[in-house]
Amino acid sequence: MCRIGSIKSKVPVHPSKALHLMLPQQEGHDNSGFAMVMQDLYGTFANYKDKPLLSMACTQKGNQMVEEYMDAHNFVQLAEWIPIPDKRPGLDIQAMPYYVFRNYDFPEHYNELSEEEKQNLLLDTRLALRKLLEEAGEGFVYSFWPDVLTLKEIGDPRDIATYFHLWDDHGGLMAKNIVVQCRQNTNYDIVRYAAHPFFLQGYTLCANGENTFYTKNKEFQKSLHRGYIGFESDSQCFLYTLHYVLHELKWPINYFKHVITPLPFEEIEEREDKEVLKAIRQSLAHLEINGPNTIIAT
């Protein structure tokens, strides 16, 4: 099972806090990876909270491809943070040549659009960049969203943290919300996109356990939304269902539970909202999950 953790703080904290949170679980590390999503950013990114932040790992050619795409689509680069890695010998990490975290301003003609239209632009841009780099084999695009930073890498979590200086409380990288994972889902290929947490349009989720309804979830979700792609891990289905219930259907959070793990019919009959719950169970049966599992979402 994956090793997962989350910190939600009233004050900005360094990634080291989350790393120390994970130390008691290190017996379960299998050196298959580390991933982190930081939200509500401070330090380096404190002055760009309303500007979309691109998080990617790529080759030099991949970086050039992304720059050309963003220029062609009239995005304006505002700021950039490229980590200077600790390349001491012996670190267990399958490092990419470049890790780029770059803030952009929206194209000028998008300034008058609604928030929903801007969100769709960011999603479509991330999907286009991912496809661009994936087809060329030149890198990975993890998120493109305001006030959100995503880092994923393969190797020993402690060594990955050393490589990126995440143990150091230098003040440059801080956030009030950090979700981390220190082991990939090793039922599948070890790939960067498979590492939790997963992020989509403001929603972050990681999970441990299993989902034996993965196939029926996946096939149904493919028809629901253009952003439901990849499926490198069965746990991605949890994020897509969360996004569908809250973002697309705009239902209250309590109905997420009734979609993924509905009550038995005999218990439903005893509730005041039984007609709603029966309708959910009948119409969204392909989004049910089968555990055991634990979910952390923000």
Side chain identity at residue 241, one-letter code: T
Q: What is the pLDDT of residue 189?
A: 64
Domain finish residue from 139, 160, 190: 190
Q: Number of folded domains in the chain?
A: 2
Kindly state whether residue 120 falls inside one of the protein's structural domains. Answer: yes
**Do residue 214 and residue 185 come from a single domain?**
no
Q: What is the pLDDT of residue 219?
A: 97
Distances (CA, A) of 132 to 19, 92, 128: 32, 28, 6
**Do residue 64 and residue 132 come from a single domain?**
yes
Q: Name the residue among 209, 205, 158, 166 with its Cα closest to residue 182.
A: 158
**Do residue 159 and residue 107 come from a single domain?**
yes
**Do residue 81 and residue 150 come from a single domain?**
yes
Q: Which two tokens stand for residue 257?
A: 């539970």
Distances (CA, A) of 89 to 75, 86, 112, 136, 204: 39, 9, 51, 30, 34
Q: What is the pLDDT of residue 110?
A: 87
Q: Which domain holds residue 118?
A: 1-190
Rounded mean pLDDT for each run of 10 residues along the chain, 298 residues in total: 86 94 66 89 96 98 98 97 95 96 94 92 98 98 98 92 93 94 64 92 90 94 97 92 97 94 94 95 93 81
Q: What is the pLDDT of residue 171?
A: 79
C-alpha 39/C-alpha 37 separation (Å) is: 7
Q: Alpha carbon 22 to chain centroid distance?
A: 18
Q: What is the pLDDT of residue 270?
A: 95
